[in-house]
């Protein structure tokens, strides 16, 4: 007998509730419990959530990431940047660039072909904000590391797209692919994507201010929030631009022009808990243990080199900008998670260097599995050591 999707939603929420509480009991972040619970009931183990069932949840990641992007964007207050200046921007550039350089260089030293190494290096720049934001919310983390982290993960998406654009251009030219290859367009496209996201996000943020002035009750404002987050997501898909960037920019614009922005975050936090639980349980279910045996030496090297790149790049960026010592010491460890953007870039990389498509996919999916499972715990440890998670919230 086939179960209805409503029943599967209930099962996913119950799995998340149980494993999230179990994780909390043993002092792990709830998000780790959600991922492990999903992994247990997913196709890799018990197969209670089959691949066919998981297809019904395809919209959940899109919705969850849209709200996460709005939360990140809303932290981009003018007052914060007046206080810290270009520190987050410089750190984001260094951590992303070091990840690219160290992964690419390390793989070349191990004898990997140059186009393959360049594409994996470019994918290494991407950082997944979802798990990190959940840890910050769960433990109510506050302080310079947390503040910088929110800005860096937002900027990281844009920087990763630019670096990937350059890398794919170099890889294509090395392989001398088909005759319609345009060096100029390959370099220009990432900047155009960011520009279009900036335009759409800014327009939505400016428009969103007006209905918030007219409708002041919580229920009406919640409807406005959901409407505009969905508008940002839908228009991004329509125009083929980054959903994360568009909605982050919308949130950033709104938080700087409307006094209602802070209440929107509170409303978002109230209604998104079940969406986030579903997102992480489904993400855990989609983790494929079968790819682990085939990851090989290249995969292990990628996983370790990317961590070295993120940590060292953050440290150098923090030193250059004279950021607080805790930022240089602990921020890099919070940038380990990697998921959605990296997997999206993998799909593009497969078309750029098709002869390496299978290897790239295996390496990135294996890395995602490991990063997503250990990343939240490492983020919690780093923020605790930085003194930004109070003992009563642990």
* DSSP notation for 211-262: HHHH--SHHHHHHHHHHHHHHHHHHHHHHT--HHHHHHHHHHHHHHH-TTHH
Nearest alpha-carbon partner for 75 in 321, 260, 254, 271: 254
| pTM, rounded to two decimals | 0.75
* Full pLDDT tens readout for the chain, 394 residues: 567 889 999 999 999 999 988 988 887 778 788 888 988 998 888 988 888 888 888 888 888 878 878 887 887 778 777 776 788 889 989 998 999 899 999 988 888 888 888 888 888 888 877 778 888 888 888 888 888 888 888 788 778 777 777 777 777 777 665 555 555 666 677 778 778 888 999 999 999 999 988 888 888 988 999 999 999 999 988 988 778 788 888 988 998 888 877 788 788 877 888 888 898 888 888 777 776 776 678 888 888 999 999 999 999 998 998 888 888 888 988 888 876 667 667 766 776 777 777 777 778 777 877 887 788 888 888 888 888 887 665 5
Q: What's 167's domain CATH number?
A: 1.20.1530.20
Q: Could you give the CA distance from residue 114 to residue 109 in angstroms, rounded to a whole number?
A: 10
Q: Could you give the CA distance from residue 130 to residue 217 in angstroms, rounded to a whole number?
A: 29
Nearest alpha-carbon partner for 374 in 128, 42, 41: 128
Q: Could you give the CA distance from residue 114 to residue 107 in angstroms, rounded to a whole number?
A: 9
Structure-block tokens of residue 198: 């900036």
Domain count of the fold of the chain: 1
Report residue 167 CA to chain centroid gap.
20
Q: Could you give the CA distance from residue 254 to residue 299 in angstroms, rounded to a whole number?
A: 41
* Domain containing residue 145: 5-393
């Amino acid at each position: 007998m086939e179960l209805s999707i409503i029943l599967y939603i209930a099962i996913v929420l119950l799995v998340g509730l149980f494993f999230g509480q179990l994780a909390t009991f043993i002092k792990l972040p709830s998000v780790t419990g959600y991922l492990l619970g999903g992994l247990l009931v997913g196709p890799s183990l018990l197969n209670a959530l089959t691949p066919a069932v998981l297809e019904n949840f395809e919209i959940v990641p899109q919705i969850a990431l849209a709200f996460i992007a709005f939360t990140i964007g809303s932290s981009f207050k003018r007052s914060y940047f007046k206080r810290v200046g270009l520190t987050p921007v410089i750190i984001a550039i260094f951590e992303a660039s070091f990840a690219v350089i160290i992964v690419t260089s390390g793989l070349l030293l191990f004898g990997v072909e140059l186009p393959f190494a360049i594409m994996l290096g470019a994918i290494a720049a991407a950082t997944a904000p979802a798990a990190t934001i959940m840890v910050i919310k769960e433990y109510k983390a506050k302080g310079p590391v947390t503040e910088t982290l929110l800005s860096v993960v937002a900027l990281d998406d844009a920087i990763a797209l630019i670096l990937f654009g350059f890398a794919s251009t170099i890889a294509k030219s090395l392989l001398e692919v088909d005759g319609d290859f345009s060096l100029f367009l390959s370099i220009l496209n990432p900047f155009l994507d960011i520009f279009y996201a900036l335009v759409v996000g800014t327009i939505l943020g400016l428009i969103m201010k007006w209905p918030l002035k007219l409708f002041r009750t919580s229920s009406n404002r919640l409807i406005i929030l959901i409407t505009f987050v969905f508008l940002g997501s839908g228009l991004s898909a329509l125009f083929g631009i980054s959903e994360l960037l568009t909605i982050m920019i919308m949130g950033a614009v709104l938080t700087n022009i409307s006094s209602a922005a802070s209440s929107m975050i509170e409303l978002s936090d109230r209604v998104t808990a079940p969406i986030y639980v579903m997102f992480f349980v489904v993400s855990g279910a989609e983790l494929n243990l079968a790819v682990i045996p085939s990851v090989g030496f290249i995969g292990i090297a990628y996983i370790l080199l990317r961590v070295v790149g993120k940590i060292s790049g953050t440290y150098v960026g923090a030193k250059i900008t004279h950021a607080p010592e805790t930022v240089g010491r602990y921020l890099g460890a919070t940038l380990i998670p990697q998921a959605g953007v990296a997997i999206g870039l993998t799909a593009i990389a497969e078309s750029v260097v098709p002869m390496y498509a299978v290897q790239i996919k295996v390496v990135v999916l294996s890395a995602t599995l490991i990063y997503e499972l250990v990343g939240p715990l490492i983020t919690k440890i780093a923020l605790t050591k930085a003194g930004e998670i109070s003992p009563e919230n642990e």
